[in-house]
Structures are given as C-alpha cells and as structure tokens.
Amino acid sequence: MKKLYFVRHGESEGNNQNVYQSEVSPLSQRGREQARILQRRFKNIQIDALCASPLKRAQETAKIINEIFNLPIQTTDLMREWGKPSALIGKQAGSKEAKEFQDALQSRPEDSYWKWQDEESIGEVRDRVVSFLEEMKRAPQENILVVTHSLPLKMLLSIVLFGSEHIPFVHGSSPFRVRTSNTGITVLQLPDGEENWELLTFNDHAHLGEP
C-alpha cells in the first residue's frame, strides 16, 4: 500500500498581502509557526521520502518539517505552483488586471491550454500533476511527503475524482471553487495491485485549530 501525503506550504508573505507572488516569496512569521505545528502532526507518521516544489515558500516549509526526518529533500518541478502572468506579479488579487485575467480565463472553457499572456496554462498544470502521480507509482518508497501549492492540490482532487483525462473548465468544473488552507494535508493511497489512486483526506488542517 503506497501513501502520498501532500501538504500546502505555510502562509507566505504573498498570501498575507493577498498578492500574486513570485517564486521567491518567503514564509511569513505565521507561516513558519504553521510549519512547526505541521511538523508535530507528522511526528508519529512513517515517512520514507520527502519531495518539495522548488519555490522558496515550499522549500522553507519542507526544511522545517524535515527536522524530524532528516531525509534528502527531493525538488520536483512537477508540483510547483501554477506559473502566473508576469504582469500580475505583485498585484493585488482583487486588482483590475487580476479580474481581467480571471474573466478571460473562465470565458474560454473549450481550451484549457489557452494563455492570456506568458503564464502557464491550466492544462499544462494538469498534465504535470498527472505525470507526477504516474512517477510516484514507480517510486520504491511506500510513504512519501510532498510539499506543494494550492492549484496542484486542486488538480489532484480533480484527477482522482474524475480521471486523468478531466480538464477543469473544459468539463464544466472550476478549481477556483475549492479552498485550500496553508499546511492543509491531502492524502492519497494506492492499494497493492491497483492502478487508481484513492482519496483519503483533502485539506485536513485540524492541527491549526481553525474552521
């Protein structure tokens, strides 16, 4: 039985400011505290391998958790955050430019590979998350912890529930209707001899004591 423990990084300074953030946005003080609480949550859980997105906030979260495991942190581009348009970096999430982007994105449900500017398309994010799940099937370790981001987690949910060919927007669903919490835990398992991942938990953040 293989288990994947996905966690969203702790709160970043960009999250706190509610802006489109760059790859080097670090954890906030609250985010570091959240990561330490998360570390305690994993104290009695067997983890054989630790992977993390290359973005700074994910790497910082992984390092804090890894203080109890002392495992090599394997960096994976497949679970990095959705690459946003460079013109939006530093802009408020509710800005005029952000609204134009969101409206344009959701007005083209027939093409998940469409791009507004220089961002990564929704379809490209889905494809790499599918690739990561296939890669994990071949991994020799049984219990793997992965530090990642909001949209890849939403894609996981879509893929497990609707299949690897499902693409949000094209098939009438929207990942933006699902909320993910900083340090929320999502667990997938792959029973021996099976090909399809099963969802055990999604966005479990009980360790934070928040609704």
In this predicted model, what pLDDT tens digit does every residue of 54-102 receive, in sequence order?
999 999 999 999 999 999 999 999 999 999 999 999 999 889 999 998 8
144: pLDDT strictly greater than 70: yes
What is the spatial distance between Cα 23 and Cα 37, in angstroms, rounded to a whole number? Answer: 24
Phi, psi of 98 (to 5 degrees): -65, -40
pLDDT score for 171:
45
Residues spanned by the domain of 57: 2-208
What angle in degrees, to the nearest 10, is found between the helix axes of 122-138 and 150-162? 70
Q: Which is higher by pLDDT, 108 or 170?
A: 108
211: pLDDT strictly greater than 90: no
Q: Which is higher by pLDDT, 139 or 211?
A: 139
Which among 47, 51, 56 has a CA at the least distance from the CA of 74?
51
Question: Can you count the helices (H) and strands (E) in the chain?
Answer: 6, 6
Tokens of 62: 């992984």
Mean pLDDT of 114-133: 93
pTM of the model: 0.94
The DSSP code for 180 is: -
Which amino acid, one-letter code, is at 192? D
Number of domains in the chain: 1
pLDDT score for 109:
67
Tabulate helix, strand, coil % of the chain (nearest 5): 40, 20, 45
CATH code of 191's domain: 3.40.50.1240
Confidence of residue 168 (pLDDT cuts 50, 70, 90): low
pLDDT score for 39:
98
Confidence of residue 198 (pLDDT cuts 50, 70, 90): very high
In this predicted model, what pLDDT tens digit does every residue of 172-197 receive, in sequence order?
556 567 889 999 999 999 999 999 99
What is the spatial distance between Cα 62 and Cα 80, in angstroms, rounded to a whole number? Answer: 13
Range in 47-56, 60-69, 160-169 the model is least confident about: 160-169
